[in-house]
């Protein structure tokens, strides 16, 4: 089997709106795979097709080597957390999760034991008899994860699992996703939070207006677009800036105001270049010029790469007209 999830030439339209336009990529087995794109890019539509909630107009999806049109063969092996997962407001949450497990063929006793164990796992063990209306937004998100984590799923699809959460709750959700990954699950995460994706995922695909823009490991995508922010003891003249641009691995050196602040973009795509080596060479070049670096901040530019690949610039519009 080449990938845990294999997307082949998926196309989907809603009336005159083309939500997906021949999208193809593979999700490596046991990866945490980020699905990125602006609003309306087609992320939710693609996850819905992968879970067989929607049928594509063309193309196919295989999960664990099984065409999702035979979705019954993936029972308990594939789970999904929709973006706006809904639960019965007045039924205790443990009973709701137990019901889902009974649909998978478990006895009531085993189903309730699985539900309790999973609620403990996501930090809701002391709330098992509560009803949804008594839970906070963060708790409801964790309840959705509990539903997706029930049993021992091999592939988990999560649509915006941290949307609307504060940083602490978002961190807890990411930790839970990492724990499921460590239990040998493949996890696909749709998100708008680029920092979150970079922290969590090892591979990503970027969609824009229904097209696949790129897909690769996070390292490969960010490798050619890293940057170093500098605050120097004095501004550089044009000749000195040009000298920095000749340092191997330096793509551009641009001032940020006239007070000795610069952003240096790196191109690490050639040879044996790495971030630390190029940064060290850059600092040596500055010292040779008699310039003291007062602040050096290294950072990957996944956000800049995303904005560039989706045709949007920082400070400009980033939300296209919505599609279904």
Residue spans in the chain of domains classed CATH 3.30.70.100: 226-299
- In angstroms, the CA 116 to CA 122 distance is 10
Among 86, 82, 108, 106, smallest CA distance to 95 is for: 108
CA angle 202, 122, 159 (to 5 degrees): 50
| 5-217: CATH number | 3.40.50.300
Q: 75 in the Ramachandran plot: left (φ > 0), alpha (ψ -120 to 50) or beta?
A: beta
- The structure's pTM equals 0.77
pLDDT at 297: 82
How far is the C-alpha of 7 from the C-alpha of 224, rounded, in Å?
26
Which pLDDT score, from 0 to 100, does residue 271 have? Answer: 67
Beta strands in the chain (DSSP E): 5-14, 17-27, 32-36, 58-63, 66-67, 78-81, 155-159, 186-190, 203-208, 211-217, 226-232, 250-255, 261-266, 293-299
User: For the domain bounded by 226-299, which CATH number is listed?
Assistant: 3.30.70.100
pLDDT of residue 159: 95
What is the pLDDT tens value at each position of the chain, 324 positions in all?
579 999 999 999 999 999 999 999 999 999 999 999 999 999 999 999 999 999 999 999 999 999 999 999 998 899 999 987 889 989 999 999 999 999 888 999 999 999 999 999 999 999 999 999 999 999 999 999 999 999 889 999 999 999 888 888 899 999 999 988 998 899 999 998 888 898 899 999 999 999 999 999 988 887 666 788 899 999 999 999 999 999 999 999 999 877 899 999 888 776 678 888 899 999 999 999 999 999 998 766 677 778 878 875 444 444 443 444
Angle between helices 93-103 and 108-121 (to 10 degrees): 120
List where CATH 3.40.50.300 sits in the chain. 5-217
């Amino acid at each position: 089997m080449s990938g845990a999830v294999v997307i082949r030439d998926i196309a989907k339209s809603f009336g005159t709106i083309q939500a997906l336009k021949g999208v193809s990529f593979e999700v490596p087995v046991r990866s945490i795979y980020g699905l990125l794109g602006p609003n309306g890019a087609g992320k939710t539509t693609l996850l819905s097709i992968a879970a067989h909630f929607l049928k594509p107009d063309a193309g196919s999806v295989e999960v664990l080597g099984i065409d999702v049109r035979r979705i019954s063969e993936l029972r308990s092996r594939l789970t999904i957390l929709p973006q706006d997962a809904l639960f019965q407001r007045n039924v205790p949450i443990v009973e709701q999760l137990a019901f889902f497990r009974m649909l998978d063929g478990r006895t009531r006793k085993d189903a309730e034991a699985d539900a309790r164990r999973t609620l403990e796992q996501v930090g809701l063990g002391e709330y098992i008899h509560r009803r949804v209306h008594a839970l906070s937004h963060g708790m409801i998100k964790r309840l959705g994860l509990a539903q997706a984590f029930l049993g021992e799923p091999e592939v988990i699809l999560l649509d915006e699992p941290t949307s609307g959460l504060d940083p602490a709750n978002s961190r807890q959700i990411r930790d839970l996703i990492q724990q499921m990954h460590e239990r040998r699950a493949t996890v696909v995460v749709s998100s708008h939070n680029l920092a979150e994706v970079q922290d969590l995922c090892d591979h990503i695909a970027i969609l824009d207006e229904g097209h696949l823009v790129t897909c690769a490991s996070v390292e490969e995508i960010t490798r050619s677009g890293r940057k170093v922010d500098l605050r120097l003891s004095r501004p550089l003249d044009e000749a000195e800036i040009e000298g920095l641009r000749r340092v191997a691995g330096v793509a551009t050196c641009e001032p940020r105001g006239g007070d000795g602040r610069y952003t240096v973009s790196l191109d690490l795509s050639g040879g044996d270049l790495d971030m630390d080596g190029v940064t060290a060479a850059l600092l040596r070049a500055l010292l040779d010029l008699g310039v003291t670096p007062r602040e050096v901040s290294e950072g990957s530019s996944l956000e800049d790469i995303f904005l560039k690949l989706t045709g949007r610039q920082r400070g400009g519009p980033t939300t296209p007209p919505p599609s279904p």
